[in-house]
Structure 1
Amino acid sequence: ESVTDPAEGEVLYVTANSASGSKYYSIHNKDFPYAAVMNQESTPNITNVEVTDKSFAITTYRTTDMSVVDTFAIYKDGYQPPQAVIKSVSLGVGADESETMVTWYSDSKLPGKVQLVKKSDLADRVFPETAAEFAAEKESANEEGFFTNQAVIRGLESGAEYAYRVGDGTTWSDVYDLTVQDSQNGFNFLLAGDPQIGAGSTDTDIKGWQRTMETAIKAFPRTSFLISAGDQVNTASNEAQYAG
């Protein structure tokens, strides 16, 4: 993000890619791996430009799935853009006990990421510069204006306690705790089938689901994860039905 305030009568020019002409390509540095010669996936992109009285924003998407490649915004001097909204942070099962998946919603167009640190290295809930980072894949969500972010945390140690947060490098979520259970002596999980939230009253169904989960976790406090065997909600595109 950048801030600019051109004087009256001045014009701001923004160039991208090869707009600067052939002189750009006359610069040679054998030690620098130019993006143009790296074996990148050949995926068509499309760029959206949004202009308001306070900002000039450019966002590039992959045409295959409309996931965000990159975004850049210029704001008028003195204007403070609203903070991004981060919600619905959840953990999922990884390929093995050293991994876990993290998913969240955000209205930020910036690339998402997860920061992870051992709890012993976290002072006053402030993340150190040495925190590990994991990039997230991003795509448009069912909820208008929001994106889903999905990342995989790798390298988790059995029995270790961690803290993590999600965000875009500018705005961060609350700090959450993560404890990796020692699975050498086995583990347990919960299995739920056909909750069908929304088949009746959505609010009533959500309350019933929450009571069921509270009762189950109280009975089995060392539960590692939950598997929903299907029909978690009545309408797949209805975000409100997932709120439980």
Structure 2
Amino acid sequence: MADDPQSEIAESEPAEYASPPCFMHELDPEFHAMPSRSDAWSDVMRWRKAERERLIAERMALEPEQRHARSIRIAKALDAAVGKAAGRIVGTYWPFRGEPDLRNWGIGIIERGGRLALPVVIQKGWPLEYRLWAPGDPLERGVWNILVPSRGPAVLPDIVIAPVVGFDEARYRLGYGGGFFDRTLAAMPRKPLTIGVGYTPARIRTIYPQPHDIPMDMIVTD
């Protein structure tokens, strides 16, 4: 899987929600029962926190050359997934904590007639705001010290590229735990094409999705 760019295309089947009671999954990785206790979500949150830390540590342990090579393969796969760029707004991101670096790929989108938008955290508990950005436009340090456009109009992207900490077989995305991305998608008046991007080892069996989790239309890996 690491040698050939590939993507997992959206399917129409509805997702099934599952949560692990009492951390049974730690004793049996194949355990996928429906929640039977009122504190099942607390169990899921604890599990997600531990899994998030594990996956980020693995990602950060990759050599910079490995991350660079994997990012190039992801970029090539994204070209096939996105297709025509002209006239479209692509919401992308500034890489953080070893995420795939798609900045050069984004420049290619602009060269092909598209536009880029970067997400900005406005306030805790609020949806993200996507602002148009092009090379040379001013950036400032936002939440988690990530570079974001310091000004610019808020836009609704046609395509949203979202980095994943982890992802599962149903295309659910494990993020950093703030809920910003799901909240943003839920608030958008028109749903964009959503593409999660991550390294192949980020794939896990399930994130134990909850009703507020929104699956990606597609996951693209190296």
Q: Name the one with the larger helix percent.
A: 2
> TM-score normalised to the size of structure 2?
0.19
1 or 2 for the larger relative contact order (CA 8 Å, sep ≥6)?
A: 2
Q: Which has the larger radius of gyration?
A: 1
Taking structure 1 as the reference length, the TM-score comes to: 0.18
Greater percentage in strand: 1
